[in-house]
Amino acid sequence: MQIDETDRALLALLGQNARLPVATLARKLGLARTTVQARLDRLETSGVIAGYSLRLGQEARPGLRATALVSIEPRSGPAVLARLKSLPQVRRVHTTSGRFDLIVTLEATTTQELDDTLDRIGEAKGVRSSESLIHLSTKLDRGA
């Protein structure tokens, strides 16, 4: 699907605040409300917009966040991913190139919970090694 400059402007506005009413979006884009609604419908149907979600503020987020860099054994990806999916503290898993195979984002309410989760990751069959990084403060968050 082709995305033009108007679609990009619409997506940028939604990225700032996905709750903006269609009428407000139309006014900011200089378009008719029905045109904006049709574009939204097309972007949703085509999968460009996969959904709308809630972004919690700092006060509502778990107190601890960390990143685990994980190296895995060859052909163990599906088993390791299944283990990671079973851990509620695991928020995101990305494959990567370089020294590590996976980047795992974690959230926990206590240091004990975080430590237990890191232990469970390290014990997973197929995990060769891991390194964890505790997030101290957020300097920039563009909400991706």
pTM: 0.72
Side-chain-facing half-sphere of 99: CA atoms under 13 Å:
5
Structure tokens at 132: 């964890």
Structure tokens at 94: 């990305």
Rounded to 10 deg, the angle between the 33-45 and 5-16 helix axes is 90
The pLDDT value recorded for residue 54 is: 77
Domain ranges of the chain: 5-46, 58-135
Mean pLDDT of the chain: 93
- CATH architecture of the domain with range 58-135: 2-Layer Sandwich (3.30)
The pLDDT value recorded for residue 144 is: 57
Q: What is 5-46's CATH number, 3.40.50.620, 1.10.10.10, 1.10.8.50, 1.20.1250.20?
A: 1.10.10.10
Distance of CA 18 to the CA centre of its chain: 16
The structure tokens 């088993």 sit at: 79
Averaged over 29-58, what is the pLDDT? 91
What does DSSP assign to residue 86? Answer: T
Kindly report, residue by residue over 102-135, the tens digit of the pLDDT.
999 999 999 999 999 999 999 999 999 999 999 9
| 51: nearest Cα among 40, 60, 61 | 40
Q: Cα(26)–Cα(45) distance, rounded to whole angstroms?
A: 19
Percent of the residues in the chain that have a pLDDT greater than 90, as a whole number: 81
Averaged over 48-69, what is the pLDDT? 85
